[in-house]
Chain A
Amino acid sequence: MATNTMDGAQALIKTLDDLGVEYIFGYSGGAAIPIFDALETVKTRMKFILVRHEQGAVHMADGYARAAGKPAAVLVTSGPGAGNTVTGLMTAMMDSVPMIVICGQTVTWMLGKDAFQEADIFGITIPVVKHNWLVRETNALPRIAREAYHIATTGRPGPVLIDIPKDISQGAFSGEMKPEIQLPGYHPERNFEIDQKQVKAAAGLIAAAQRPVILAGQGCMIARADKELMYLAETLDCPVASTLLGKGVFPENHPLSLGMLGMHGTAYANKSMIECDLLINIGSRFDDRIIGQPDKFCQDAKIIHIDIDPAESGKMIQPDVMIVGDAKAAVAEINEMIAPVKHTEWNSKLDAYRKKFPLGYKKQGGLRMQQVIDELYHLTEGGAIVSTDVGQHQMWAAQFYKNHESFHWLSSGGAGTMGFGFPAAIGAQLAFPEKTVISISGDGGFQMTLFELATAAIHKLPIKIVVLNNHYLGMVRQWQELFYEDRTSGVDLIGNPDFCKLAASYGIPSVHIKRPADVTKQLTKALEYNEGPILIHAECVKTDNVFPMIPAGAALEDMITEAPKARMAKPVGST
């Protein structure tokens, strides 16, 4: 029912509150003032968090959603404000993260006339959102907000964007507050209708397998299929590798866990892919970081692929059996058809690989990032929410911080967006004020979004902000060392600030770790501080390389587990 003298902005804010949105991250500006005004005039349960850059806002909403499993909203102004959200939208789109981004826009009669702070954000963001709208009538706002929430959170989740001209948000609202949504082209409810023929075929392959392996991806986590996955793995006595984004859906300290696979995954996870005769992929999209050379990947094995997105079927790897649908529903159906079995010989073989190729690092000759991460894992018993930035530290964190449960690992996988880690941790801490949240960044990535130290300080968020400083853009430097005859170019991060002084300038305390012997003491001190954020500056060895490594586009068989002696050819794959 319409209420009297409400404007579009108020109707929008009321709708978001009604939908259960808890947080709005944003930054104001002229075109968005009516919506900011509605935040003051409409009483809701929502909290607005003022950031220091729109990119920070989007990454915060992203981290919030990865941890909480539900979307937050982002509110920015037109033109440059909206433009600053594009990287974060692309980040969320690549990793299937739900969020609702709302942009102010110039008045409708000025659209296309190069108005002040006007940008065609609708056109610009089409390829980086699941769907978007340019609103043309005030009364459509509640319907569009409901459609936006529905699209963002169902099926394969993703970010959505609503562009609202100022006259639309300011206009008088006389429409329905709870209208029907109109999406004739979108039927996510069909994802729960699992094709029985395909389930039978999958069960047949499973019964015949001698050396099966499960690949647990993010889809498994999003579907909350942890229990179904555990039942499947334990019933079949089947080892489980996880993707970067699937970390935690299967506890990494379980005897059947092989850890992460792929370009910098564990050697034994990659060996399991090479030597298995059946791969059960639950909710991973066969990303190029894990399959190496597509025509050589699992070439002797049968492949079952379970994915909610039909477009993923055959996109990278042609499966033998494809099951399109929700992972929880699909695995539950498979579980009905399997019988307990043992694969003792296969598991012993993989266990031998675990012993032959363990992950390790040196504790002498300078402080290594791996040691800091390993120590954090032990001090928190693997129970913290960990967000990472992008680069070598990200891969070491994936290797050494073992996750035991879902929604505790926040890392930009598909996009690899530097600057993601710290604001994502802010979002996660707001979602779970009582949990320990650790943000792990390199010196490069941290400097891309460090301005959000202000936001963390204002809200007294007890985030442990770890800066692993090697004065280099480490991952690129590693590639240049291995493939470009050690010719470094564009990676030398001289002129870093004194990170402890920087934190102090925001009123944030810090600890400084310079030697391996200091690690435990300083980390313990930092972990015990919960009055607000604390920065942990760890000065690490300047050059170190992440191993194992599979060069981009190379087959998994070409994995190297230590520094090569001969010169390596340039990788054929992307990036």
Chain B
Amino acid sequence: MITTTDTPVPVNLSGSVHTLSVLVNNSPGVLMRICQVFSRRAFNIDSLVVSQGRDPSFSRMTIGVSGESSGLHQIIMQVGKLIDVIHCFEHTSNDSVTKEMILIKILCASEERSAALQITEHFGGKTVDLTPNSMVVMITGDSPKLDAAVTMFSQYEIIETVRTGKVVMARGEQAT
């Protein structure tokens, strides 16, 4: 729960993509409570990653959301108000590292394979599935890197992709 007594100043005036880290009680229904804060304000959640923390009574969530900033400030306050939420912070690239993972499934005949593997190597990825006509590539990194990888692989026929959504962690000794 945030108690702020300072006169409010919007956190991120320009950008429209925001990353929130939320520490919550690990109990049923918490996810629904948080999602409703967004949906009732007609805000869309771009990505949401949640899993148990080191202390199993808590879970960590990373929420990616895009939208205008003044509405988001109110959402951060309302999420922080929920009884099951320990804290809700917005992170920027300056104070945190943000990573996500993508699996890309492409149609790839044997003569095209080595070029595809070169692209994979460039992005520091791995092939996790290989068949005579297809390949699944796994790449981790920050979101723009993954976007670039998808662009490079577009020269092949991309059957499908799945992304995990961002996870965020504060830099240095600061708690996320």
Interface residues on B, range: 20 to 34
Instruction: List which B30-73 residues lie within 8 A (CB) of chain A.
Output: 32-33, 36, 40, 58, 73
A-B contact list, 16 entries, CB within 8 Å: A122-B29, A126-B29, A126-B32, A127-B36, A134-B28, A184-B25, A185-B24, A185-B82, A195-B5, A198-B6, A310-B4, A311-B77, A314-B8, A314-B74, A322-B8, A325-B5
Nearest opposing residue in chain A for B8, CB measure: A314
Say if the beta carbon of A309 comes within 8 Å of chain B: yes
Q: Are B83 and A127 in contact (CB under 8 A)?
A: no
Q: Which of B24, B32, B80, B83 contacts A310 (CB 8 A)?
A: B80
Question: Can you name 15 extra interface pairs (CB under 8 A) apart from A315-B77, A322-B8?
Answer: A123-B29, A126-B29, A126-B32, A183-B83, A185-B82, A185-B87, A186-B83, A190-B3, A197-B5, A309-B81, A310-B3, A311-B74, A313-B8, A315-B74, A322-B6
Nearest opposing residue in chain A for B27, CB measure: A133
Q: Which of A127, A185, A309 contacts B25 (CB 8 A)?
A: A185
Instruction: List which A117-140 residues lie within 8 A (CB) of chain B.
Output: 122-123, 126-127, 130-131, 134
Say if the beta carbon of B174 comes within 8 Å of chain A: no
Q: Are A185 and B28 in contact (CB under 8 A)?
A: no
Instruction: List which A519-566 residues lie within 8 A (CB) of chain B.
Output: none
Q: Which of A122, A184, A309 contacts B86 (CB 8 A)?
A: A184
Closest Cβ of chain A to B113, distance in Å, is 47
Closest Cβ of chain A to B11, distance in Å, is 12
Q: Are B3 and A311 in contact (CB under 8 A)?
A: no
Closest Cβ of chain B to A347, distance in Å, is 29
Nearest opposing residue in chain B for A201, CB measure: B7
* B interface with A by C-beta (< 8 Å): 1-8, 24-25, 28-29, 32-33, 36, 40, 58, 73-74, 77-78, 80-87
Nearest opposing residue in chain B for A311, CB measure: B77
Say if the beta carbon of A92 comes within 8 Å of chain B: no
Q: Are A187 and B1 in contact (CB under 8 A)?
A: yes
Q: Are A310 and B2 in contact (CB under 8 A)?
A: yes
* A interface with B by C-beta (< 8 Å): 122-123, 126-127, 130-131, 134, 151, 183-187, 190-191, 194-195, 197-198, 309-311, 313-315, 318-325
Closest Cβ of chain B to A536, distance in Å, is 41
Q: Are A310 and B77 in contact (CB under 8 A)?
A: yes
Residues in B whose Cβ lies below 8 Å from that of A318: 8
Q: For the complex, what is the distance from the CA of A318 to the CA of B83, rounded to whole Å? A: 26
Residues in A whose Cβ lies below 8 Å from that of B24: 185
Q: Are B28 and A319 in contact (CB under 8 A)?
A: no
Residues in B whose Cβ lies below 8 Å from that of A324: 3-5
Among A131, A184, A194, find the residue whose CB has the most chain B CB atoms closer than 10 A: A184
Residues in A whose Cβ lies below 8 Å from that of B5: 194-195, 197-198, 322-325
Q: Are B32 and A123 in contact (CB under 8 A)?
A: yes
Q: For the complex, what is the distance from the CA of A185 to the CA of B24, rounded to whole Å? A: 8
Residues in B whose Cβ lies below 8 Å from that of A184: 25, 58, 86
Nearest opposing residue in chain A for B79, CB measure: A311
Q: For the complex, what is the distance from the CA of A131 to the CA of B81, rounded to whole Å? A: 11
Closest Cβ of chain B to A42, distance in Å, is 28
Q: Are B25 and A320 in contact (CB under 8 A)?
A: no
Residues in A whose Cβ lies below 8 Å from that of B7: 198, 319-322
Q: Are B78 and A185 in contact (CB under 8 A)?
A: no
Q: For the complex, what is the distance from the CA of A126 to the CA of B7, rounded to whole Å? A: 30
Nearest opposing residue in chain B for A190, CB measure: B3
Q: For the complex, what is the distance from the CA of A236 to the CA of B100, rounded to whole Å? A: 58
